[in-house]
Amino acid sequence: MPELPEVETTRRGIEPYITGRVIQAAVVRQRALRWPVPRHLSSLLAGQRVIEVVRRGKYLLLRLEGGTVLIHLGMSGHLRVLKKELPAQKHDHVDIVFEHGDVLRFTDPRRFGAVLWLKGDPFHHPLLLHLGPEPLGDQFCGKYLFERSRGRKVAVKSFIMDGKVVVGVGNIYANEALFLAGIRPARGAGRLSSDQCEQLALEIKWVLGQAIKAGGTTLRDFRSAEGQTGYFQQELMVYGQGGKPCPQCGTRLKETRLDQRSTVYCPRCQP
């Protein structure tokens, strides 16, 4: 689920329902997520108003009056706003219950996600402190990529997936952006030309932007009690297409592993 576009779509989906609302309580059914959910989350949050809902990389931040709830969806997490408290299913680990009865419910089968309470400036928290720029912001550009990558021997795919370089580029969109930029994923980051960095930065922005648009149309129903998934099948050029013909030249797409992650590229278009 959670590449940056889905996290952003989630943010936009929940924001209108919880901004300005006062939290009544929290219900924690499973504390063992990536890090333990605070034992007394409910008393930490109760009575506080939600000021705003912010995204930083793939982290969602619920800014409250006296601190911040940090949420990460991990590999399999999602958030829904329910009109009323419904019977919890197996993987419904945390509820944030608002006055008037709406419930923000965190569900995560694999439990790689997180729900934490941060006091003070959340951007000083170790998890957020060393994050790179937002891929859709102006700071992230070809020049930045070029300068950051000098002397780096890691594969360019690993490089753009490194949150200290740029946040929010997950496995799917790393594959897609490298295809669109015509760059082989295993290529050493430090060996890219400045033109290639320029192209790559543009494609990352483009592909994420498109996906946010698509996510907006596919995951619209955040209030649905059934939580209909209506899964989001984007038009992916290469991801999941290993062995099939390249959409540009027809050459058989190669599928390999890089950092234990599935990696697909066209041997001809990505020299």
Catalytic residue chosen out of the listed positions 11, 21, 49, 261 = 261
Q: Binding to DNA by residue 243, rule CB under 7 A?
A: no
Q: Binding to DNA by residue 178, rule CB under 7 A?
A: no
Q: Binding to DNA by residue 90, rule CB under 7 A?
A: yes
Q: Binding to DNA by residue 72, rule CB under 7 A?
A: yes
For DNA, which residue of 21, 125, 223, 261 counts as binding (CB under 7 A)?
261
Residue 79 token pair = 């958030």
Q: Binding to DNA by residue 138, rule CB under 7 A?
A: no
Residue corresponding to tokens 């015509």: 182
Q: What is the spatial distance between Cα 199 and Cα 179, in angstroms, rounded to a whole number?
A: 11
For DNA, which residue of 23, 45, 53, 154 counts as binding (CB under 7 A)?
154
**Max alpha carbon distance in the chain (Å)?**
60
When the beta carbons of 23 and 264 are compared against DNA, the nearer one is: 264
DSSP 238: S
Q: Binding to DNA by residue 34, rule CB under 7 A?
A: yes
Q: Binding to DNA by residue 170, rule CB under 7 A?
A: yes
DSSP run (H or E) holding 148: helix 142-149
Whether 3 is catalytic: yes
For DNA, which residue of 6, 8, 95, 102 counts as binding (CB under 7 A)?
6
Residue corresponding to tokens 């740029």: 166
By C-alpha distance, which of 29, 39, 20 is closest to 95? 29
Q: What is the spatial distance between Cα 103 and Cα 228, in angstroms, rounded to a whole number?
A: 16
Residue corresponding to tokens 């001809």: 268
Name the CA radius of gyration of the chain, rounded.
Answer: 20
For DNA, which residue of 12, 31, 63, 91 counts as binding (CB under 7 A)?
91
| 3-class DSSP assignment, residue 103 | strand
Whether 254 is catalytic: no
Whether 245 is catalytic: no
CB 77: neighbour CB atoms within 10 A? Answer: 27
Residue 86 token pair = 């419904």
Q: Binding to DNA by residue 74, rule CB under 7 A?
A: yes
Whether 63 is catalytic: no
Q: Binding to DNA by residue 70, rule CB under 7 A?
A: no
Instruction: For residue 159, report the phi and psi dihedrals to the nearest 5 degrees.
Output: -60, -50
Catalytic residue chosen out of the listed positions 5, 55, 58, 184 = 58
Interacting residue ranges for DNA, rule: CB under 7 A: 1-3, 6, 32, 34, 57-59, 72, 74-76, 90-91, 109-112, 126-127, 151-155, 158, 163, 170-172, 231-232, 259-262
Residues catalogued as catalytic = 2-3, 58, 261
